[in-house]
Structure 1
Amino acid sequence: MDLREELRNATRPRHAEVERLFEPVDIGTGAGLRRFLLAHYAAVTPIEQRLGRIVDGPQAGCWPFRLSALLDDDLTSLGVRQRPTIMRADLSDAHPLGLCYVLGGSRLGARLLLRRLSETVGSSTFRPRYLTSAPDDAIWAHTRSLLAAAGDAGGYRQAIGNAAELAFSAFAEALALVEDSRETDDALAV
Structure 2
Amino acid sequence: MREDDPLTKLREVSRTIHEQVDRAYSGFSLSDAASYTAFLQAHGRVLPQVEAWLKTVVKLPSWRERTEYLRSDLVELGHDLPECLDWQPPSGIGAPLGVLYVLEGSRLGGKMLAAQVGEGLPHTYLSAGHEKGGWPAFLQTLRERLQNADDSYRQSVMDGVTSAFDLFRRAATLRG
TM-score tier, shorter chain, comes to 0.7 to 0.9
Query: Which of 159, 164, 170 pairs up with 2:156?
Result: 159
TM-score in terms of structure 2 length: 0.85
**Number of aligned positions between the proteins:** 169
How far off is 1:109 after superposition?
1.5
User: Aligned pair in 2 of structure 1 residues 17, 50: CA closer, same or farther (>3 Å)?
Assistant: same
TM-score in terms of structure 1 length: 0.80
Query: Which of 119, 122, 127 pairs up with 1:132?
Result: 127
TM alignment of 1:73-152, pairs within 5 A: 73-81=72-80, 83-91=81-89, 93=91, 95-117=95-117, 121=118, 124-135=119-130, 137-150=132-145, 151-152=147-148
- Distance of 1:76 and 1:136 partners within structure 2: 25
The structure with more helix, counted as a fraction of residues: 1
Q: Specify every segment of 5 or more residues in structure 2 that has no aligned partner in the other structure, as ranges.
A: none
User: Aligned pair in 2 of structure 1 residues 137, 172: CA closer, same or farther (>3 Å)?
Assistant: farther
- Distance of 1:34 and 1:142 partners within structure 2: 32
- Distance of 2:51 and 2:141 partners within structure 1: 16
- Distance of 2:45 and 2:71 partners within structure 1: 10
How far off is 1:46 after superposition?
1.6
Higher mean alpha-carbon deviation, 105-114 vs 44-53, is at 105-114
User: What percentage of aligned pairs have identical amino acids?
Assistant: 27
- Distance of 2:79 and 2:110 partners within structure 1: 21
